[in-house]
Structure 1
Amino acid sequence: MVTEGKEEMRLVLTKPLTIDGESNTDYAAPNPLQLVLSLFKNVMPGSDLTRLQLPPLFNVPKSHLQCFGESVYCVASDIISRCNSGESPLDRFIAVVTWSISTVRPVIFGVAPYNPILGETHHVSRGNLNVLLEQVSHHPPVSALHATDEGENVEMIWCHHPTPKFYGTSVEAEVHGKRLLKLQNHGETYVMNSPKLLIRFLPFPWADWVGNVRIQCQESGLEAELCYRNTSFLGRRGNQRSIQGKVFESYSLKTLYEIDGQWDRTVRMKNKNNGKVTVIYNAKEVISGLRAPIVKDTREIWASESALVWSDVSRGILSKNWEKAKEAKKAVEEKQRELQRERESREENWVPKHFTVSHSKEGGWECSPIQNWVPEAPIIVPL
């Protein structure tokens, strides 16, 4: 935990989760079965869980915005520079596939981050990479991310719209929205989606990422298909967190490489032409030993910053003072309801500060950053 600045500007910033889905701080709920029983009692199968409010006992001390941001700025090696420095379109495409895999991070069964409030932001820098997130909608929950690296001339634009649903013995959260990675020096844009989160309660509890991810680059005519699986059965440890896929040419559908491995360990790539196998991703090298961000300048912290908005709740959780955390969370939520009532009384619509939001023809959400480049943040990740 990092606490800096004046009493009213005490931020709480914690380390990201490790490969094993754990941290130096024990975030596990004392009895995850309570959460299961609560869902069975209060939620009907097939229900949308986006409005479900969890008690702090089942929260980790950070917002979903922070978790989205950590998947970009919390890395032990600079994969983005490798994407940009690839000599050929194929080299760069493989590097982007590797980067996409690196953004998938472990989760802990029984606990979840806070649901961001409307207008909440998270602004962090790691070296030349500046990352800004904003919660652009509350119901439904939609998060937007914009990250730029002026040194590498790279830009990322994400739009996340998770839709968790309860199915009796499981919760399935599909993450709608596109992820764009732009390599400006090469005039290439890579478009991809996210895997979905599956939480099972029976016959044994577990939570992990599953489903298909597609990565496309129209300029190079290359595509990749990745399939995330968890094949453990009845609690036995099998080939968990496995990933399989391929890289192929869009126009001919010719497979160039086959991909397989485990995204929390190593992922290999086999050249279909000569049979050569290489390791393209090693999770220990990328998401091990990650450090918590620190506050560089409290005077530049926005009032909407996640680490500030939820600071009292997070301190309650970290100290296991559940009553304090409960009251602090109630205060945050009630303040948002009050602001909503004030806007309605003035017949005003809330407008995001950092993104322009629109709806696509397919019914999804699209978020476009207002600024060309993300400014340097007052919160930084130590290198």
Structure 2
Amino acid sequence: MNSPKSKHSSSPVPKVAPSYSSALISYVKSILTFKGSIISSNCPALFLSGVSLLELAADWGDYFSFLVDASNSQNSTDKSLNVAKWVLSSFRSSYFGMSLGDRISIKKPYNPILGEQFYCEWFHEEYGTTKLTCEQVSHHPPISAFSLENDKYEIICNGYSEQRLKFAGTSLTVDQVGVVSVLFKKTNQLSVISLPSLSISGLLVADPIVEICGTVLIRSSDQTNCILEFIKKPYFYGNYFKFKGIITPYSNNERKRNDPEEIQLNSAKNQNSEKSCVMEGNWTTSSTFNLVENGKASKSNSNVSSSTNNLKNYKNARSDSPKPQNLLDFEDLKPLKRVIAPLSSQSEFESHKVWHDVTEALGVLDFNKAAESKNLIENAQRELRKTEKTNNYAWSPRLFTFIEFNDIKNSEFRDAFQNVQSEKPNISNGLWVKNELLDMYKS
């Protein structure tokens, strides 16, 4: 979901119609009894954001400078810290507008059509051009793949995501299934990142708010491990958008298959010269970090899990540490400007061209026209799938190929992927890679 006052779309999108609140409550009640995948349910045009879900992958490129900093880092702790900054800032770019920009106007992005594509670029004097390529590689289930590339610093990101929606009590939970990897070609190092879950509460009173919840793992091939734990606000007290995090080295001895809720980070056998790092704060505004000795970071317990007891580990790690340093302060950070080709230069498969008529109608609050245009697109896709089935035609992605983790030639890269998979069982056994980049991964 996304706010209608979106940075992603070049077309005007409506703010809020007067009947939004009552219509939202009615819609939520209807999907409470919907059988099947909620994401495939028919969404009224009033609740459409004017942006394709595929385009949201551009959020990974808005603060790419942190990956440049990671590439230039002199040690593994600093590298992981900068990767964590990139992850947190990307999450803010994705979810903050949904949370506080105009809470009552949370809206749903378009479900991308099969084979839909999206391209975007960012230009910077220091680190050159960063290019984004996206493709909808599956419709059932809906899976979006993306690749982010910077030739000057030889940084390549590959990722995919599938969103699974379900109601838990009065909240809507969005489980984001997928993985993102960052390859630093200059140093031949890889970081693997799991995706967070989202919780949308307040829907039944038409006052929705989006929170990140659960844990995000960042495993690096240089044997550095990071956990970011996002804390959902309790019902009656507390603050929104809190998180805690820890970065520690880990050894080959510790790459064992633990319970999904418990990830071993450090042990007495692994006394690395690198410092550990603890982080905390608000992922939408500001946060801090401390560098601490490995023993202090783990003296209370060698395991860090998602349990409440884990919070004591962070507290103990910080108790002997120096004054906190600034991690992120979004008052001082501005995302780079996105550059998207004009509509006249786009192919028929690109997001802005596919959904142009719908977005244009939304921009003038013509929800009937928007619904009609959306139905035309979806019906055409259904007919196309029927024709393909009749002709025994098997559709395949044009831009991306799925490879299994077992086929990754670099053993350290393979271990990093499989280590994350062991802790996040809903991740598949492979990843989607842009065709031109397959040789960097596959044997």
TM-score, normalised to structure 2, is: 0.72
Q: State the match for 1:381 in structure 2.
A: none
Q: How does 1:7-18 map to 2 (within 5 A)?
A: 15-16=7-8
Give 1:284 deviation, angstroms: 3.1
Q: 2:81 aligns with which of 64, 78, 94?
A: 94
**1:73 is aligned to 2:120:** no
Q: State the match for 2:433 in structure 1.
A: 368
Q: State the match for 2:380 in structure 1.
A: 335
Q: State the match for 1:267 in structure 2.
A: 287
Q: 1:115 aligns with which of 92, 111, 117?
A: 111
Q: Is the 8 A contact 2:52 2:112 kept in 1?
A: yes
Q: State the match for 1:212 in structure 2.
A: 215
More divergent stretch after superposition (84-93 vs 312-321): 84-93
**1:56 is aligned to 2:59:** no
CA distance in 1: counterparts of 2:327 and 2:130, whole angstroms = 22
Give 1:357 deviation, angstroms: 2.6
Q: Is the 8 A contact 2:358 2:374 kept in 1?
A: yes
More divergent stretch after superposition (146-155 vs 195-204): 195-204
Q: State the match for 1:278 in structure 2.
A: 325
| Residue-pair matches, total | 349
CA distance in 2: counterparts of 1:25 and 1:310, whole angstroms = 13
CA distance in 1: counterparts of 2:361 and 2:342, whole angstroms = 24
Give 1:227 deviation, angstroms: 1.0
Q: Is the 8 A contact 1:46 1:165 kept in 2?
A: no
Listed as ranges, the gaps of 5+ residues in structure 1 are 1-12, 18-22, 374-383
- Classify 1:58/1:338 alpha carbon distance in 2 versus 1 (closer, same or farther; 3 Å): same
Q: State the match for 1:253 in structure 2.
A: 266
**1:323 is aligned to 2:343:** no
Give 1:193 deviation, angstroms: 0.7
Between structure 1 and structure 2, the one with the greater Rg is 2
- Classify 1:294/1:198 alpha carbon distance in 2 versus 1 (closer, same or farther; 3 Å): same
Which of 1 and 2 has higher RCO (CA within 8 Å, sep 6+)?
Answer: 1
CA distance in 2: counterparts of 1:91 and 1:42, whole angstroms = 45
Q: Percent identity?
A: 21
CA distance in 2: counterparts of 1:159 and 1:225, whole angstroms = 20
- Classify 1:47/1:194 alpha carbon distance in 2 versus 1 (closer, same or farther; 3 Å): same
Q: Is the 8 A contact 1:118 1:138 kept in 2?
A: yes
CA distance in 1: counterparts of 2:378 and 2:343, whole angstroms = 27
Letter in 1 for 2:223: G
Give 1:240 deviation, angstroms: 1.3
Q: Residues 54-110 of structure 1: CA distance to partner in whole angstroms, max 9, x if unpaired?
A: 1221011111111122x12334x7222112111222221111111111110222554
**Tell me, what secondary structure is at the counterpart of 1:178?**
strand
- Classify 1:214/1:47 alpha carbon distance in 2 versus 1 (closer, same or farther; 3 Å): same
**Tell me, what secondary structure is at the counterpart of 1:185?**
coil
Q: Aligned-residue CA RMSD in angstroms?
A: 2.8
CA distance in 1: counterparts of 2:170 and 2:405, whole angstroms = 33
**Tell me, what secondary structure is at the counterpart of 2:433?**
strand
Letter in 2 for 1:72: W
- Classify 1:195/1:369 alpha carbon distance in 2 versus 1 (closer, same or farther; 3 Å): same
